[in-house]
């Protein structure tokens, strides 16, 4: 019973791999999170021209990384539209489920930048619209800041990810002060991110206008 329990925990711990992809020309570099299981033996990389269609049986169809401390591998001259997954295996040759699947597309063209517009619907509630791009756009990223032209581009904690199927978004509960600035980018299937759009600003005018001064003139006839 103890052996079964250990094997079960081993397989559970092996499952959690997350893979990222970067490339230069047609050289592709895969990186993944290191697994810290004590009896980990290494990792296996699989690639395919068809999504979720990998040969896990033939050892010639994979790359073996026989070290638990290596989490990077570079391929030379990879064809466009190639899919990759990574697995982990332990000293007993138990192999994990596959990681997330990543796709390489040989495309380094940056998408066109957007033009965005702001419409104030009521205090603290706005609608932002933009022109849709006809390229292979995967989605849009909306950045906001309390300082003009100060954005943390590329940081997933700094933007709102928006589907490519829409060209508007509603934003609510905006503060009266300070002013809120927005820019937007779009990104394609290769994760190429465009330059930022024009910057728009939302602020509430909370200052009451000055009281008018009136005079009366009586005309006596």
pLDDT in tens, 182-193: 999 998 887 788
Structure confidence at residue 26 (pLDDT): 65
**Residue that wins the pLDDT comparison between 212 and 169:** 169
106: burial class by Cβ within 10 Å (0-12, 13-18, 19+)?
middle
Q: CB neighbours (10 Å) of residue 32?
A: 23
Tell whether the model's pLDDT for residue 205 goes beyond 80: no
Q: CB neighbours (10 Å) of residue 42?
A: 17
Which DSSP helix (H) or strand (E) runs through 117? strand 116-122
CATH numeric code, 116-202: 2.60.40.10
The encoded tokens of residue 220 equal 């006596």
The encoded tokens of residue 37 equal 């299981």
Instruction: Give the DSSP letter string of 180-194.
Output: EEEEEEEEETT--BP
What residues does CATH 2.60.40.10 cover in the chain? Answer: 2-104, 116-202
Q: CB neighbours (10 Å) of residue 190?
A: 20
CATH numeric code, 2-104: 2.60.40.10
Instruction: Give the DSSP letter string of 70-106.
Output: --EEEESSPPSSEEEEEEEEETT--BPPP---EEE--
Pairing of the two strands 82-90 and 40-48: antiparallel
Q: What is the pLDDT of residues 2-39, one digit of tens each?
A: 232 222 323 333 334 666 666 555 678 899 988 888 99
């Amino acid at each position: 019973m103890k052996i079964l329990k250990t094997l079960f925990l081993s397989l559970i711990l092996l499952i959690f791999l997350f893979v990222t992809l970067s490339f230069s020309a047609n050289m592709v570099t895969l990186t993944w999170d290191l697994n810290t299981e004590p009896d980990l033996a290494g990792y296996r990389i699989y690639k395919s021209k068809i999504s979720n269609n990998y040969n896990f049986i033939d050892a010639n169809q994979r790359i073996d990384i026989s070290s638990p401390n290596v989490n990077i591998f570079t391929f030379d001259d990879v064809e466009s539209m190639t899919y990759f997954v990574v697995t982990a295996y332990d000293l007993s040759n138990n192999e994990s489920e596959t990681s997330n699947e990543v796709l390489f597309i040989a495309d380094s063209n940056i998408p066109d930048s957007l033009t965005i517009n702001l419409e104030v619907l009521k205090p603290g509630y706005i609608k932002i619209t933009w022109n849709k791009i006809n390229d292979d756009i995967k989605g849009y990223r909306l950045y906001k800041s309390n300082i003009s032209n100060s954005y943390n581009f590329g940081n997933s904690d700094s933007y709102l990810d928006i589907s490519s199927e829409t060209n508007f978004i509603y934003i609510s509960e905006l503060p009266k002060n300070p002013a809120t600035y927005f820019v937007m980018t779009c990104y394609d299937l290769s994760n190429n991110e465009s330059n930022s759009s024009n910057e728009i600003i939302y602020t509430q005018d909370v200052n009451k206008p000055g009281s008018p001064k009136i005079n009366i003139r009586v005309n006596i006839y």
